[in-house]
A and B are shown apart, each in its own frame.
Chain A
Amino acid sequence: MRVAVVGAGPAGVRAVEALVAAGLTPVWIDEAPDGGGRIYQRPPPGLLRDPGKLYGFEAGPATALHAALDALKPRTDWRPETLVWHLRPGAQRLSTLHRGRQAELAYDAAILCTGAMDRVIPIPGWTWPGVTTLGAAQIALKTQGCGIGRRVVFLGTGPLLWLVAYQYAKAGAQVAAVLDTTPFATKAMAAPGLLRGGTTFAKGLYYTAWLRARGVRIAEGITPLAIEGTAHGVTGVAWRDSAGRTHHVDCDATGMGWGLKPEAQLADLAAVPFRFDAQQHNWVPQRDAAGRTPVPGIYLAGDGAGIGGAEVAEIAGARAALALLEDSGHRVDAAQVTRLDARLARQARFRTALERAFPFPAALARAMADDTILCRCEGLRAGELRAAARAEAATGPAPEVNRAKAFTRVGMGRCQGRICGAAAAEILAAELGRDVAEVGRLRGQPPVKPIPIAPAAEAA
C-alpha cells in the first residue's frame, strides 16, 4: 500500500512512527530542509543545536522527537525540501516540487500533518519593516540566533505572546512591553479549567511572573491603535487601555499575533468539507476524533486539523496512523487505541479552557479603520472591502468571501489569503450584519504556494 505523510512536525513524526512499526514504508514529505515542524524546528547546519537553549522547558520532548525523526528517515522514502503544491483526491495523486523540479506521486492513503500559522489582525502600520508575527519572532531567535530588533514590543494574545516575550528577554533582547488584548479577568475566569492542562498552564504562569519580576511593562485588556514607523522601520506602538487612556512606547520592532489558524489548504484541495469551529474561531477541516475525514484515504492530524498544540499533535499523529491501518485491514493494538483516545479527550477539555482564556478579539478586526491596509499582498484597504460588500449587497446575491475576493482582490495575492483571510471575513460579516460563519472562507487553490510557472502548467 502506498501511504504518503505530508509534514514532519510532531504529528507527522508520530504518524510515520506508527506506520513503520506496522511494516509500511511511507513516502514522507516536508517543505523544510529538515523535520521538527514549528515548535521543534531545527536551525540550519552551522548553528549550535543545544536543545536547552533552543527549546527551554520543551528540550526533553524536542530531543525525543528529533531522535525519532532521525531514526525514521532511513526507514521511509524521506523527501525534505519538497513542497506538496497540489492534491487531487479523484486521481489520488500529489504534485510535488523539489528544487525547481516537479513530480507526481500516486497514493492509496495520505495523512496530512501540515501544521498552523499565526492568526493576525491588521492594525495601522503593520506592514512596516520590523513588524513580524509572533511565530516569526520566535523563528528568528530559535533558528537564526537573532532578535527582530533591539527593543521589541510583543502584541496580541495567546500563549505564544508570553512565551516569545520570555524567550526574547532571556536571550538578552530588551522587551519594551507585552500588550495583551485579553483582559486579566478573562484569563482568571478560565484558570480552573486551565489547571487540567498541568504543566502547560504552569509554564504560562511562570513566563508571565518572570517577566513581571523583571519589571517588563505589561498591559492587559488593551486596544492597539497603531504601530508607528517610517520607511526605515518601526519607532513605537500606541494603544488604549481599558479606561480609555492612550499610551505609547518606543521600540524598533514589533511581534504580533492572535493565536493560530490551521494550514489546511491541502485538506481543502482534497475536498474535505470544512466547518466553522466557534470555540477556536477558525474554519477547520472535518474529521472524527481519530483523524478520519469524509474523503476515503485522507487522514488529518496535528494543528492542521484544528489547533491543539504540540502534545496533542503527537498523540493525534499516532492515532490517525492507527485509523489508517485499521481501515486498510491491518491489525492494531486495541489497548493502544484506547489509551490514545483517552489522552486526546483529556487534552480537548484543556483546550476549551485555553480558548476561553485567550479569545480571538473579533471586534478589533471588525473595527478596523477604512484606511488600514487589510491585504498586504494586494495593498487593499479595509474600506475598499466594505464598499464592495455594500455595493454587492445592494445589487447581487448574498455576498461571501470568495465573491468579495473576485471583486476586490482580497486574498487573491501571493499568500492566498493566509494572512488577511480571518480579518477580511470579520469585516465582511460586520458590514453585512451577519455571523462570521455565514460569510464563508477563502477556498484553497493550487498551487498552495507560488511555484515557477512551468510545473503548474505541465500538471494542469
Chain B
Amino acid sequence: MKLVRLRDDARPRIALTLEGARIEAQQGDTLLTALLAAGAGYLRESEFEDGPRAGFCLMGACQDCWVTVVGRGRVRACATLAEPGMEVSRG
C-alpha cells in the first residue's frame, strides 16, 4: 500500500528508521503515514500466515496497524505521531 501525498505536503522533513533503514517523513505524519507514504508497503505480517497488513480503520479501532517503537513498545501506527529519530520495526 502506497499512501499518496495529495495536499499540504511541503511540511518540515523529519527522519526516522524502519528496520534500521532511514525513512523521511513530514512533521505531523502519523507513523502509519510516515511508513506507507515512504514506500514501506505494509506494517506487519498476520500471525495466521494470510499475508501482510497495513491498517484498516485509521481510527484506533481495528488494531491492525501495530508496529514496535524502541523505548515505547508496541503502538498503533495510525494513532501515534512520527517523531524525529524514532526507531520502528514492523509488527
Contact = CB atoms under 8 A, between A and B. Distances in A.
Interface of A: 31, 33, 38, 43-48, 53, 117-118, 127-133, 135-136, 139-141, 144-150, 171-173, 231-234, 252-253, 263, 373, 376-379, 413-415, 418-419, 449-450, 452
B35 to A, nearest CB: 11
A43 B58 CA distance: 13
A136 B64 contact: no
Interface residues of B, number: 42
A54 B43 CA distance: 27
Contacts of A234: 1
Interface string B1-35: 11111111101100000000000001111100100
A421 B78 CA distance: 22
Contacts of B4: 146-150, 173
Interface string B37-80: 10001110011111111111111111110000000010000000
B76 to A, nearest CB: 9
B81 interface: yes
A47 B81 CA distance: 12
B48 A233 contact: no
Contact of B55 (A31, A132, A413): A132
Given A130-B1, A149-B2, A419-B56, 10 more contacts: A43-B28, A135-B57, A136-B55, A144-B30, A146-B37, A150-B2, A233-B2, A376-B64, A415-B62, A415-B64
Contacts of A141: 6
A46 B28 contact: yes
A127 B2 contact: no
A83 to B, nearest CB: 9
B59 A38 contact: yes
15 contacts: A47-B11, A53-B7, A129-B52, A133-B56, A133-B57, A135-B59, A144-B3, A149-B3, A171-B6, A173-B6, A414-B63, A415-B61, A415-B63, A415-B64, A419-B61
A176 B55 CA distance: 22
Given A129-B41, A373-B50, A145 B61 contact: no
B60 A31 contact: yes
Contact of B57 (A117, A129, A253): A117
Contacts of A452: 73
A171 B4 CA distance: 11
A335 B84 CA distance: 54
A418 B62 contact: yes
B7 A145 contact: yes
Nearest to A253: B1
Contacts of A31: 60
B63 A377 contact: yes
